[in-house]
Amino acid sequence: MRLIDTHSHLFLEEFSEDFPQVIERARAVGVTHIFMPNIDSTTIEAMLSACSVYKGYCFPMIGLHPTSVNANYEKELEIVARELKFSKEYVAIGEIGMDLYWDKTYLKEQQIVLDKQVNWALEYDLPIVIHCRDAFDYIYKVLEPYKKTPLRGIFHSFTGTAEEATRVLEFSDFFIGINGVVTFKKSHLPEILAGIPLEKIVLETDSPYLTPVPNRGKRNESAYVKDTLMKVSEIYGMSPEAVGDVTSENALKVFGMLK
């Protein structure tokens, strides 16, 4: 079994006491790569430290998360710019995007920050990893001018409609990130996935959040990507091994790691 967790925050405090064991459990179920999205300037050090300990297994991204966008966003962007300029460690710009679920105060700033980071992705030839919450149309409007560019990326934790999935796939080098939400009883994702080719899907956990069934209620971790895999295999009517292979190839492709 080959698995990749394309989105995991294992550097957060929730894992401070058993991080090595979390990694071992991931390895035990066949996880070959774990990709770690940054949040803001307060998380860079912890993320880089985690990726340094497990170099070649855990891979860092750099970006400013939309919920960290506020009146101080220009200073935060300067830090992202500096990291991109002076480090070759980063495999993506993420997680970036827009989140209007809690607050729309900084809607305009979120658009500016997203656009700026999309431009950096093109400048540095890196994929983007997009966080979208109650903001699909706004994000699409920012991304639309880049349709004919080499921009590539992942719509992380996709929970949108069939129409939104179709609009994501208008971008030929974009993939849809599926996590534990697909296993939830009231999730509409199984029906949505029926219309999406497996060649456009990557798997993720979003650890420590969105734990899949049957572990829902516990802290999520990278090993639980296997539970998402089992559900996705059921939806596509394919063996877990085959789905693991296809989604892993998709992940390596988007992160520019195919041999």
The binding site comprises 7, 9, 95, 131, 156, 206
**Measured between alpha carbons, how far is 143 from 201 in angstroms, rounded to an integer?**
20
b/e map 139-176, b = 16+ CB within 10 Å: beebbeebeeeebbbbbbbbbbeeebbebbbebeebbb
Contacts for 44 with CB less than 8 Å, ≥ 6 apart: 38, 62, 79, 83
CB atoms closer than 10 angstroms to residue 49:
12
- Known binding-site residues for a divalent metal cation equal 7, 9, 95, 131, 156, 206
φ, ψ of residue 166 to 5 degrees: the values are -60, -40
The DSSP code sequence of 126-179 is --EEEEEES-HHHHHHHHGGGTTS---EEETT----HHHHHHHTTSTTEEEEE-
The candidate with the shortest Cα–Cα distance to 166, out of 130, 195, 135, 209, is: 195
CA–CA distances in Å: residue 186 to residues 16, 181, 201, 233: 32, 9, 21, 18
54, 23 contact by CB (below 8 A): yes
**Measured between alpha carbons, how far is 36 from 13 in angstroms, rounded to an integer?**
14
**Measured between alpha carbons, how far is 37 from 44 in angstroms, rounded to an integer?**
10
